[in-house]
Structure 1
């Protein structure tokens, strides 16, 4: 799968942009703040329905405008796909698939991306929320229907927390909160699917991440991933039914505590995944170089996993301002590790940061305009 053209209207700092893109490696070069990352953000949005830089879609609409439009042509073998998204400051967003009205939430079925940015160091050093987001974006890419499961879980969690807060200040006894039983069932049913999918993902990622780490770092430091659930699950691979029952048991036995706290203390929204090198947690023990290598390996491992599973071919690999942070040896090893992907987007402040083997199609970005660089 690859992007063959992209058109933007009133997206970030682009009033208007139209470029044709070839297969292979596309390098976007320009100073900070010129629009390099905005371009790859637009592509990534269609695949993930979110931004890696902003929690609100309105931030992607050009200042003073009511809507932004992203239009991307995709090519896979002989198949051509046109995806169009209109992000509205007021009212719901709109989408079209091959010029016909479509649902934006279905777009991940047609386009897959894997994006690495310097912010990914938070996967190693940051709080559990960043790691949960990494897992959930990937399970949606693998199984798009999980997008609605995650959304429904967030709504159920919000409703349950509202009820718990109400009960906290109510004279009614905990035992009379019959409505809470309904939300317990709803939360456990949805949450169990998320937990089982995360378990499967972590298991399947182990091999690709280990191989990616060795290819980038040039050494085998035995990278490992381990889910750390707030709900104690049976040993081995848990079924959805087993996970649901375990979840319900925890909610039931801890109801008084949750009412007292006014919040849901157990479930996938409280889970984490632990990363380790040589049996030591990366957080607090890994060096700066090891941290970069592990973060890169998570993304490259994810790309290789999607490549093995997808009927659409390779995911589109995006490396946003990565090479400037790597030493010369890691740059060359990373270039070698990604060179066989069908399409790669790279952003860089200066072209010298990018290994020569990846300088196939170079564009210069300046003040929201894009022009092919002369060779």
Structure 2
């Protein structure tokens, strides 16, 4: 899968730009603030209907314009498809596929991307919400219907949270508290939450070997101290499950049992019905605590993607270079997982587009070379760089100069 055309109208800094694209590596070169990231942000938006830079769509519409438009032609197999999204500030967006009006959610799955950007280091250093978003973006690309499940789940948690606050206030005033009013919301939270938890657990199981492998390649390290390992701690059962340490996993005596513990835990979580029961049970157990605090304490919104380096948590212990290598490994692992996905209609020739936004300037020479070797395998890669010299020589291909709202070809792979 790859893009052949991209057009932006009133998107971010662009009044209008039209680009002809090709498979392979395409690089956008320009000084900071010239708009090169805006281009790859638009491509990523088509994949997830969200920006990797801002939480609200309002910032995506050019100042003074009514709406921003992203249009692209994507080739999947031998069948090109035109997709378009019209982004409005403060109201619902509109979408089209092959010029026919559709719900925006129907765009999901037509374009698949994996984006690495400097702010992704927050996957290692930031709060659990960053890591949950990483999993959920990947989940929605693999199973577009989960966008609706996630939206419904978020609605339920908001309404349940409001009820918890109300019940807590009644209790503090000495009034009678009808906790049974939570039962309906508990059932809905458990039903929707179990689907999200199961999907995330499946993703982590598939990601684990790719992340470990790519971390060793990018960092150039191997062995126990250099191992990157990911696990899932869910809020319903985490008190019953403690992820094994790297020492346990690699210990000849205890390694087999430790690995079996991980696999069994993930197998349990991928069983939607079992997970639903576990969430319901945890909700009952923690009901008084939830009412007292006025917050939802159980569900996938409280779960955690656990990142370790050897026996230590990556957060707080990983160096700057290790954090970058780990983040790259997570993104490359996601790219590999999507490449190998055989569960959906886009499995055949559905390889995701790889986007590397201002990555190479932050890497030393050896890491640049190792990353370049990996991305050469991709069908289509978009790279942004402030200076072309930051890029390894292997990354030859089409280049565009981005300057003051214009995007002009610098060279093409066919140039002599």
**TM-score per shorter chain, which class?**
over 0.9
- What are the Cα deviations for residues 329-348 of structure 1, in whole angstroms up to 9, with x where unaligned? 00000000110100000000
Q: Using the alignment, how far apart are the partners of 2:372 and 2:281 within structure 1?
A: 49
What is residue 253 of structure 2 aligned with on the other side? Answer: none
What is residue 19 of structure 2 aligned with on the other side? Answer: 19
Give runs of ≥4 in structure 1 deviating > 3 Å: 171-174
| Contact kept? 2:44, 2:51, Cα under 8 Å | yes
Q: How does 1:128-139 map to 2 (within 5 A)?
A: 128-139=128-139
Q: Using the alignment, how far apart are the partners of 1:69 and 1:241 within structure 2?
A: 41
Q: Using the alignment, how far apart are the partners of 1:91 and 1:301 within structure 2?
A: 35
Give the Å deviation of 1:67: 0.5
Give the Å deviation of 1:90: 4.5
What is residue 64 of structure 1 aligned with on the other side? Answer: 64
Unaligned runs of 5+ in 1: none
Residue 173 of structure 2 corresponds to residue 173 of structure 1 = no
SS of residue in 2 equivalent to 1:314: coil
- What are the Cα deviations for residues 57-89 of structure 1, in whole angstroms up to 9, with x where unaligned? 111000011101111011123110100111112
| Contact kept? 1:307, 1:313, Cα under 8 Å | yes
Residue 409 of structure 2 corresponds to residue 372 of structure 1 = yes
Q: How does 1:216-231 map to 2 (within 5 A)?
A: 216-220=218-222, 221-231=226-236
SS of residue in 1 equivalent to 2:108: helix
Q: How does 1:266-345 map to 2 (within 5 A)?
A: 266-309=298-341, 310-345=347-382
- What are the Cα deviations for residues 144-171 of structure 1, in whole angstroms up to 9, with x where unaligned? 1111111110000000000011111125
| Contact kept? 1:227, 1:274, Cα under 8 Å | yes
What is residue 127 of structure 1 aligned with on the other side? Answer: 127
2:394 pairs, out of 330, 353, 357, with: 357
Unaligned runs of 5+ in 2: 241-263, 342-346
What is residue 94 of structure 1 aligned with on the other side? Answer: 94
| Contact kept? 2:112, 2:350, Cα under 8 Å | no
Residue 249 of structure 2 corresponds to residue 208 of structure 1 = no
What is residue 9 of structure 2 aligned with on the other side? Answer: 9
| Contact kept? 1:66, 1:90, Cα under 8 Å | no
Q: Using the alignment, how far apart are the partners of 1:88 and 1:285 within structure 2?
A: 42
What is residue 84 of structure 2 aligned with on the other side? Answer: 84
| Contact kept? 1:84, 1:95, Cα under 8 Å | yes
Which moves more between the two structures, 268-277 or 328-337? 268-277
Give the Å deviation of 1:265: 1.1
Which moves more between the two structures, 250-259 or 84-93? 84-93
Q: Using the alignment, how far apart are the partners of 2:114 and 2:317 within structure 1?
A: 27
> TM-score, structure 1 length as denominator?
0.97
- What are the Cα deviations for residues 181-240 of structure 1, in whole angstroms up to 9, with x where unaligned? 000000011011111111111111011111211221222222110111111168531111
- What are the Cα deviations for residues 263-300 of structure 1, in whole angstroms up to 9, with x where unaligned? 11111111111111222211122221111111000000
| Contact kept? 1:30, 1:350, Cα under 8 Å | yes
- What are the Cα deviations for residues 81-132 of structure 1, in whole angstroms up to 9, with x where unaligned? 1001111124321100011111211212211000000111100011101000
Q: Using the alignment, how far apart are the partners of 2:22 and 2:380 within structure 1?
A: 8
Residue 48 of structure 2 corresponds to residue 48 of structure 1 = yes
> TM-score, structure 2 length as denominator?
0.88
SS of residue in 1 equivalent to 2:301: helix
Q: Using the alignment, how far apart are the partners of 1:299 and 1:292 within structure 2?
A: 11
Q: Using the alignment, how far apart are the partners of 1:253 and 1:340 within structure 2?
A: 50
- Root-mean-square deviation (CA, aligned residues, Å) is 1.3
SS of residue in 2 equivalent to 1:356: coil
What is residue 106 of structure 1 aligned with on the other side? Answer: 106
| Contact kept? 1:216, 1:337, Cα under 8 Å | no
Q: Using the alignment, how far apart are the partners of 2:388 and 2:55 within structure 1?
A: 30
